[in-house]
Amino acid sequence: MHVIGGTASTALAERISRELSNAPFGIPFTKRFPDGEMYVRVGGRLEGEDIVIVQSTRTDADLLELILLEDAVREAGARKVVVVVPYFGYARQDRRFFPGEPVSARTFCRHVELDADAVVTVDLHSSETLRQFTKPAFEASGIPAIARLLRERPIDILVSPDKGGVERVRRMAALLEKPWFALDKKRIDSEHVELRMPGELPLPIEGKHLVLVDDVITTGGTIVEAAKVLHKRGAGAVSAACTHGLFLKDAFERIKAVTDEVYSTDTLGNAAEKASVAPDVAEILRAEMPSP
C-alpha cells in the first residue's frame, strides 16, 4: 500500500502512512501553468499497487488537485484507489434550501468518488451525506482522537454548544466517563449566535473545568459565546475542542482570549492541532485494503 499526501493534507497523510506499518509515502509534484491551470505528477512505482490519496477539500483548488491526483494514480496503473478526505468541503449545502440551488455535497461526492474504489472521510457535516456516494464510503470520527488527548487533562464536565451536538458529546462523555450537558443555541446570522444554559445541570459548574465539544469551529462565534456563558455561571476553566478547526479570520485569537486551551484534530492543520485522527483513519483503511 502507498500513501500519497495532497498539498492540503501532507502531514496527516504521513502520519497515516506510519500507522499503516510505515507504508511508502509520497508527495506529488504540483505547479501552476502560466494560465493558472493546475499540474500534478505522482512519482514512484504505483503499477498494481493499492493507493491511498489523502487530501482535505477545504478550498476549490484542493478539490481540483484531488481529482487530478486520482486520475494520475489510475494512469500510473494503481490497482485499488482509496481516497481519504479528512475535511469534506461543501458538505453544509447537503440539500436545496432555495429554488435554483445545487445540492453541493451530493455533486462533490460524485466527483470525488469518480476515480476511487472507496472514500473515507472524518466527521461529515451530516452523516446522511455518506448515502450520496455510490462506492463504499466510510466516516471516521474525531471523537476518539480528542478523547485520547482529554484523558490526560484534569477536566470535569463536557459541554455541547447546541442540541445538534448531543450525540457527539454523549459519546465523548462515555469514553471519558464524565458528565455532560448541552447549551441552547439560536443562530442569529452566520457569525452571531445566542446561547443559554439549560434548565437542569448534571452537577454545579462553579469552579469546574468545562470542555466545549464541537464538530467544527468556523468563525468562532459559537465557542466564544459559549465560553462567556459558562464563565458567567462560575466555571473555573473553559477549554474548547473540535474535529475540524477552520478558524476563519481572527477566530483562533478570539477563542484563545476567552478559553484556557483550544484543541483540534489534524484534519485541516492549524495552531490548535493537538490530536491526530491518523489511527482512526488507518483502522478503516486496514479493513478496506487488507494485505494480500
- Mark the segment that binds ligand R5P (CB under 6 A) among 32-40, 105-113, 216-224, 278-286: 216-224
Interface with ligand R5P, residue 165, by CB under 6 A: yes
Of the candidate spans 42-50, 73-81, 176-184, 211-219, the one that interacts with ligand R5P by CB under 6 A turns out to be 211-219
Contacts of 287 (CB under 8 A, 6+ apart): none
Cell of 123: 466527521
What is residue 155's three-state secondary structure?
coil
Of 221, 229, 238, 285, which one interacts with ligand R5P (CB under 6 A)? 221
220 forms part of the interface with ligand R5P (CB under 6 A): yes
Q: Could you say whether residue 245 binds ligand R5P (CB under 6 A)?
A: no
Q: Where are the alpha helices (DSSP H) in 113-250?
A: 143-150, 166-176, 221-232
User: In the window 72-91, what residues touch ligand R5P (CB under 6 A)?
Assistant: none
Q: Does position 257 bind ligand R5P by CB under 6 A?
A: no
Contacts by 75-80, CB closer than 8 A, 24 or more apart: 76/42, 76/46, 76/47, 77/46, 77/47, 77/48, 77/49, 78/46, 78/47, 78/48, 78/49, 78/50, 78/51, 79/48, 79/49, 79/50, 79/51, 80/50, 80/51, 80/117, 80/289
Which of the residues 178, 185, 232, 274 is marked catalytic?
A: 185
Residues 145 to 164: which contact ligand R5P by CB under 6 A? 161-162, 164
- Told to judge if 185 belongs to the known catalytic residues of this protein, a careful annotator would answer yes
Q: Is 253 in the site for ligand R5P (CB under 6 A)?
A: no
Minimal distance, residue 279 CB to ligand R5P, in Å: 24
Query: Which among 7-15, 60-68, 148-156, 220-228 is the span making contact with ligand R5P, rule CB under 6 A?
Result: 220-228
Give every CB contact of residue 124 below 8 A, 6+ residues apart in sequence: 88, 91, 130, 139
Instruction: Tell me the number of residues near ligand R5P by CB under 6 A.
Output: 13
d(CA 228, CA 218): 17
Enzyme catalytic residues: 185
What residue ranges bind ligand R5P (CB under 6 A)?
Answer: 161-162, 164-165, 214-222
